[in-house]
Structure 1
């Protein structure tokens, strides 16, 4: 019987026409997906298909305590084995702050094997001192820290000066990335208006006010938002709250393999002899 080749032998240039994408572990162009509660088999299928293009998995909101123990351990183990950072949602830490059980939150996060956490105040008020303490505590425990800026209330906007100051302080405390809130809807929150369109003027002001743009991760669950940010900030922009089914579609945009970002391709100059 003839043997079947398992190699993917497309021309090398077609894999990344942009010529820019880093291999994992990436420091540029990280992709964070939002897992709202799929089963273990579906999660494993996702990693088999697109794990190479996923850098961070966030178990959304406060869902982590609701998982059967074997399932959440299985998800964490599978992510870690593929070099993917996995974090519980920021809402869970906000609940731990409100209920005064922060030590228990950290203890269980470490026991389960989470490799990062999100420090946010989208629902509660978190004073600067406590925010700094939470970042410092997580870093001392060996966790990656992703802080988040913005409220989850529909209609909330970014205060550019406050945002710039928060980014500077969070990074000084040890945060790895600062996330710009957009929720899973991507509409009427932060950088995006009620239709989900990017507020270009706000983005321009942020680019002027924040010197560490490479340390920002933009929640952008909708395709047009991803296109807008890639066009404005380049394919190495960090993007989050990506729906699980859209990982490969996003990666194709980062590489110039979709019409929306076709101009990212680096086309070699060819001299034709006549």
Structure 2
């Protein structure tokens, strides 16, 4: 991986797919064209794309965006706010089906917008961690 400056003592990052040193970027509503440009300009530098703040709920062309990230070796996932939207409506199983529908192998469990008792949060994490990274 190249950088634009002659700086010394910068450790070499492993090539993708990386097991360590992974970098996440947040998609706060990028268009397909913006994602294409981002991947072209700096896709080698990040490994994970998070659809933050529940943006997946209103994102146009969500399936195409996910496929675009995946085709570039970038693992997309839905942020915790979307998880909380499902939990607040007692729709945990529907959330799992949604993740499976889009072929996502990462997910986030959070309680930033709603109160989830710690023990219940651990149950959600345990169930989701059986077949994906939480």
TM-score (ref. length: structure 1) = 0.44
Asked whether the equivalents of residues 77 and 113 of structure 1 are also in contact (C-alpha less than 8 Å), the reply is no
Alignment partners' CA distance in 2, 1:135 and 1:16: 41
Structure-2 separation of matches of 1:49 and 1:93: 31
Residue 88 of structure 1 and its aligned partner are, at CA, apart by 0.7
Q: How does 1:138-177 map to 2 (within 5 A)?
A: 138-140=128-130, 142-145=131-134
Whether the 8 Å contact between 1:88 and 1:117 is mirrored in structure 2 is yes
For 1:113 and 1:16, the matched residues in 2 are separated by 40
Taking the TM superposition and a 5 Å limit, the aligned residue runs for 1:198-213 are: none
Decide which of 79, 82, 91 is 2:69's aligned counterpart: 79
**1:117-136 alignment, distance < 5 Å:** 117-136=107-126
Contact 1:57 1:85 in 2 (8 A): yes
CA distance in 2, matches of 1:22, 1:55: 11
Runs of 5+ consecutive residues of structure 2 not aligned to the other structure: none
Structure 1 counterpart of 2:58: 66
Q: Does 1:32 align with 2:24?
A: yes
Which one has the bigger strand percentage? 1
* Structure 1 residues without counterparts, runs of 5 or longer: 1-9, 146-274
Q: For 2:87, which of 77, 87, 97 is the aligned residue? A: 97
3-state SS in 1 of match to 2:122: helix
Residue 47 of structure 1 and its aligned partner are, at CA, apart by 0.9
With 122-131 and 14-23 compared, the bigger mean Cα shift is at 14-23
Match of 1:48 among 40, 58, 73: 40
Q: Highest Rg: 1 or 2?
A: 1
What corresponds to 2:11 in structure 1?
19
How far, CA to CA, are the matches of 1:88 and 1:52 in structure 2? 21
Residue 67 of structure 1: how far off its partner (Å): 2.0
| SS of aligned partner of 1:58 | strand
Q: How far does residue 37 in structure 1 lie from its aligned partner after superposition?
A: 0.4
Helix, strand or coil for the counterpart of 1:86?
Answer: strand
- Give deviations 1:171-229, integer Å, cap 9, x for gaps: xxxxxxxxxxxxxxxxxxxxxxxxxxxxxxxxxxxxxxxxxxxxxxxxxxxxxxxxxxx
Cα offsets for 1:227-251 (capped at 9, x unmatched): xxxxxxxxxxxxxxxxxxxxxxxxx
TM-score (norm 2): 0.85
Query: Deviating runs (4+, > 6 A) in structure 1?
Result: none
Q: CA deviation at 1:56?
A: 1.0
The answer as to whether partners of 1:73 and 1:113 remain within 8 angstroms in 2 is no
Q: What is the number of residues matched between the two proteins?
A: 130
